[in-house]
Amino acid sequence: MVIQEQRSLQYDHTFGIHVNTNYFVELAHEEDAVPLLASLTKDHRPLMIMGDGSNILFTGNFPGTVIRVNTKGIIIKEDDADSITIRVSAGEVWDDVVAYCVGKGWGGIENLSLIPGRTGAGPIQNIGAYGVELKEVFGELEAVHIETGEKKVFSREECWFGYRNSVFQTTLRGQYLILNVTLRLSRNPVPNIEYGSIRKELERSGITSPTIKDVREVVCRIRRNKLPDPGVIGNAGSFFKNPVIRSDQFEGLKIQYPEIVSYPDSNGVKLAAAWLIQQCDWKGKRIGDAGVHQEQPLVLVNYGNATGQEIQNLAMMIRQSVVSRFGILLEPEVNIL
């Protein structure tokens, strides 16, 4: 493995910010993880684990070592008439995994199509879209402790999954490098089409008995129409989480704002952050090269030469606007470094 010094990260993360890292190394094989970490931790430099960098905003150079996880492999662990369990290497591109599984007729993750990033990042954020979350098909994951080099298998319960959250975002943040993720998928899938936009798109296409392939195609179509391509304009997808508030707080808001967009949630009521931001007139706004996407106000974009600090400043102004008008503090979904 070659360690590069003073490596630009501009093309290693989807915001495309002009930043450097002191050191950069690629992890291509799981068996190299423990010796690599052992050699790097001796230097006591900060470490950051990165896949595609699709959920990161750099506000400055990274003063340590970036490890890009690029491990590959999908292995069948269990297989029966009803389900199949696969172990996926952390460096596999997530949407490639979805496409592979849908192609095999294995259902459960088709609603998570076109979510950017690598598989190892999925459990950290408990990725979710269109009525489905990763935790619903999650079996376990294997990870290595960065400081000690000890490997550990985490069950679903040990991951403490929540809305766009897990133990790896809270108490164990920055402590583990995920090696692989085990998923349990259905051999007799029943497509989940309850999410409104999926059902409408299927109806528009004249599909009355959708397959998981149909659902994947529809989800991809919706996402491509709704979200900007990071290859064209720098962004990290949804910048903020949809806030969950108490039911009584929602009822008060609904009296004042009858058109407020909401969804049921086990912890109260989930609001559409995009709607809140749009009501504060941020949709399409631009300050220098930092802006709010003209079609999707939940997405902040780099029009070319924005700094991470400029995008963070824009995010802070948006948050303040939403607090002032609705009394709701938006929480970033993107990791800000």
What does the pLDDT read at residue 194? 81
Of the listed ranges 40-44, 114-118, 237-241, 268-272, the one predicted with least confidence: 40-44
Over pLDDT 70: what percentage of the chain?
99
Radius of gyration of the chain (CA): 20
Q: Give yes or no for residue 23 having a pLDDT over 90.
A: yes
Give the count of alpha carbons within 13 A of 269, CB side only. Answer: 15
Whether residue 47 is found in the same domain as residue 137: no
Task: Look up residue 241 and give its DSSP letter.
Answer: P
Identity of residue 264: P
pLDDT band at 36 (very low <50, low <70, confident <90, very high): very high
Q: Give yes or no for residue 57 having a pLDDT over 80.
A: yes
pLDDT band at 319 (very low <50, low <70, confident <90, very high): very high
Task: Look up residue 207 and give its DSSP letter.
Answer: -
CB atoms within 10 A of CB 173: 12
Task: Show the 3-state SS of 242-305.
Answer: CCEECHHHHHHHHHHCCCCCEEEECCEEEECHHHHHHHCCCCCCEECCEEECCCCCCEEEECCC
Whether residue 119 is found in the same domain as residue 165: yes
Whether residue 91 is found in the same domain as residue 48: no
- Per the structure, the count of domains in the chain is 3
Distances from the Cα of 173 to the Cα of 125, 145, 219, angstroms: 11, 11, 31
Q: Give yes or no for residue 10 having a pLDDT over 80.
A: yes
Q: Kind and range of the H or E element at 40?
A: helix 33-41
- Residue tagged 């002191």 (tokens): 22
Question: Annotated catalytic residue: which of 164, 184, 216, 319?
Answer: 164
What does the pLDDT read at residue 52? 85
Domain assignment present for residue 271? The answer is: yes
Whether residue 168 is found in the same domain as residue 255: no
Give the residue-averaged pLDDT of 18-43: 91
Looking at the chain, how many residues does it have?
337
Joined together, the tokens standing for residue 56 give: 């990161």
- The CATH number for 106's domain is 3.30.465.10
Q: Nearest CA to 54 among 114, 111, 99?
A: 114
Joined together, the tokens standing for residue 88 give: 């996926």
Whether residue 58 is found in the same domain as residue 85: no
Q: Give yes or no for residue 2 having a pLDDT over 90.
A: no
Q: Give yes or no for residue 43 having a pLDDT over 80.
A: no
CA–CA separation, 83 and 102 (whole Å):
13
What does the pLDDT read at residue 232? 86
Q: Give yes or no for residue 1 having a pLDDT over 80.
A: no
Give the residue-averaged pLDDT of 330-337: 91
Question: Annotated catalytic residue: which of 110, 136, 238, 310?
Answer: 238
CA–CA separation, 2 and 200 (whole Å):
50
CA–CA separation, 87 and 101 (whole Å):
12
pLDDT band at 130 (very low <50, low <70, confident <90, very high): confident
Whether residue 130 is found in the same domain as residue 40: no
* pTM for this prediction: 0.83
Active-site annotation holds for 7? no
pLDDT band at 129 (very low <50, low <70, confident <90, very high): confident
**Are β-strands 56-57 and 20-27 bridged in parallel, bridged antiparallel, or unpaired?**
unpaired
CA–CA separation, 169 and 149 (whole Å):
20
Active-site annotation holds for 333? yes
Whether residue 61 is found in the same domain as residue 92: no
Whether residue 129 is found in the same domain as residue 154: yes
Domain assignment present for residue 202? The answer is: no
Give the residue-averaged pLDDT of 83-109: 96
What are 261-310's pLDDT values in tens digits? 888 887 889 999 999 999 999 999 999 999 999 889 999 999 989 999 99
What are 154-181's pLDDT values in tens digits? 999 999 998 888 999 899 998 999 999 9
CA–CA separation, 191 and 242 (whole Å):
24
What does the pLDDT read at residue 144? 96
Q: Give yes or no for residue 54 having a pLDDT over 90.
A: no
Among 35, 50, 69, the domain boundary falls at 69
Give the residue-averaged pLDDT of 72-93: 95
Answer yes or no: are the C-beta atoms of 242 and 272 closer than 8 Å. yes
Among 37, 69, 101, the domain boundary falls at 69
Active-site annotation holds for 156? no
- The CATH number for 243's domain is 3.90.78.10
Task: Look up residue 107 and give its DSSP letter.
Answer: B
Whether residue 79 is found in the same domain as residue 182: yes
Q: Mean pLDDT in the chain?
A: 92
* Residue 227 neighbours by CB under 8 Å, 6+ apart: 235, 237, 296, 299
Q: Give yes or no for residue 55 having a pLDDT over 90.
A: no
CA–CA separation, 109 and 212 (whole Å):
9
pLDDT band at 205 (very low <50, low <70, confident <90, very high): confident
Whether residue 88 is found in the same domain as residue 155: yes
Interhelix angle 94-104/212-226, rounded to 10 degrees, is: 150
Q: How far apart are the first and last CA of the chain?
A: 26
Domain boundaries, position 307: 234-336
Domain assignment present for residue 211? The answer is: no
CA–CA separation, 105 and 320 (whole Å):
46
